[in-house]
Amino acid sequence: MEPIIGDIDVRMARLKANHNRLETVLKSLNEPEVSDKIEIVLGVLFRFIERHEKIDIHEIWQDALNVHSLVSMDQIDSDLIDKPADHPTVIAQDRIISISNECLAIANTAKGIIESNTEEKIEVSSSELIEKKKFSEDIDRISGRINDLEKVLQKAVENEKSMKSGDRHLTNLADKLSININTIKISIDVGEIIDLAVVERSVKSIYSAIQDAGISIAKYIRSVPHSVLDLLSKIRATGNKLVESTHELLVSVREEMQRKRSVSDARPPEMPQYNKEWIDNQFKVIGKMIHEERRKLKIEISAFSSNTRIKIEYLRMIENGELHSTHLKPVYVLGFTRTYLRYLSMDEHNLMKGIKNYKYYYQSDS
């Protein structure tokens, strides 16, 4: 079971206290109509309190929404609470309002946890094309989850067709998901290259649509058959597994990219123009550009030295294109040069490209 943050536990403790207080109030009431409403509230609340430690965050979110919806509908009529503040009916109304608010707060907290975890799990920083054969196991798992989702959706549609009710909550959900499901299937089935960003976007859309369907169904909870709620729970569970499988693929891709970067960092870039003479020229060109820009901005080199605490002699060497040939380690040479470029608002990123790997080609005492 996923860990639940403290805020939910605190609010569940308040719900238990409200439940106990409402039970006490019920014993002293003589209005049958009010008593009936309180018993309904106590029933749904008791089930939620008993379940919450045994279910995951998605079910807590859904249960809290359901209880909030039911309790809101069962608030006591205004004509029954025109009584003193200490009257049992007034106290019961206050407790019911408090229960409704606590459940809504729990639902919002749980939703925040879900969205945060999901964003973290299926977030891709940019479009990445990957070779299918390198990640075949992870891709096969995603394919299996998609097939499972299609099966449970098909079962849900058949179930709703057999019912007399005109509501088609899960059928509408299946229609919404069909485009994204097909997009993922085509992405992983056709060709040898997969666009990871396409898969990621489709999984996010599927996940979001399932959660939205849960919210919609909660509004009509009293009229929704148990079979629909059970199928919605299975759809949600399958959607969660799809998210997990997508996360596993992303982890595998990132590990592969990190491995490639590590190998790349351990050896010089394969660029034939990189040699001692070329590096010397790059540093001289950058140094001259820095010198001219500083003069143009009428900045004294001593002022820059005071602001950055970089020795004036090092700054002069940068402007002369000589700092890299001293005893200074590359980390300082590049750091000082980058700081100088940044201070003058020059194109730091592009200018540093040509010199950032100079240590592989320039033999110095460092």
Task: Please list the rounded mean pLDDT of every run of 10 residues in the chain (366 residues).
Answer: 59 86 81 75 81 73 74 56 71 82 82 63 52 82 90 89 77 86 79 74 83 74 76 86 82 72 52 63 86 87 82 90 82 85 80 72 46
Interval 75-123: pLDDT, tens? 555 455 456 777 777 788 888 888 888 888 888 787 777 666 655 555 5
Helix (H/G/I), strand (E/B), else coil: 193 = strand
List Cβ neighbours of 303 (8 Å cut-off, separation of 6 or more).
none
List Cβ neighbours of 59 (8 Å cut-off, separation of 6 or more).
51, 233
79: its two tokens:
């004509």
Distance of alpha carbon 90 from alpha carbon 82, whole angstroms: 8
Q: How many helices (H) and strands (E) does the chain have?
A: 13, 2
Confidence (pLDDT) at 127: 45
Single-letter amino acid, residue 38: I
First CA to last CA across the chain, in angstroms?
53
Distance of alpha carbon 204 from alpha carbon 128, whole angstroms: 16
Distance of alpha carbon 159 from alpha carbon 307, whole angstroms: 73
Which residues are 193's β-sheet partners? Answer: 131
Confidence (pLDDT) at 230: 84
Phi, psi of 52 (to 5 degrees): -60, -30
Distance of alpha carbon 16 from alpha carbon 46, whole angstroms: 8
List Cβ neighbours of 124 (8 Å cut-off, separation of 6 or more).
196, 197, 200, 250
27: its two tokens:
């014993």
List Cβ neighbours of 135 (8 Å cut-off, separation of 6 or more).
249, 252, 253, 256
Half-sphere exposure of 97 (CA within 13 A, CB side): 10
Confidence (pLDDT) at 319: 92
Which residues are 195's β-sheet partners? Answer: 129
Alpha carbon 135 to chain centroid distance? 23
List Cβ neighbours of 353 (8 Å cut-off, separation of 6 or more).
none
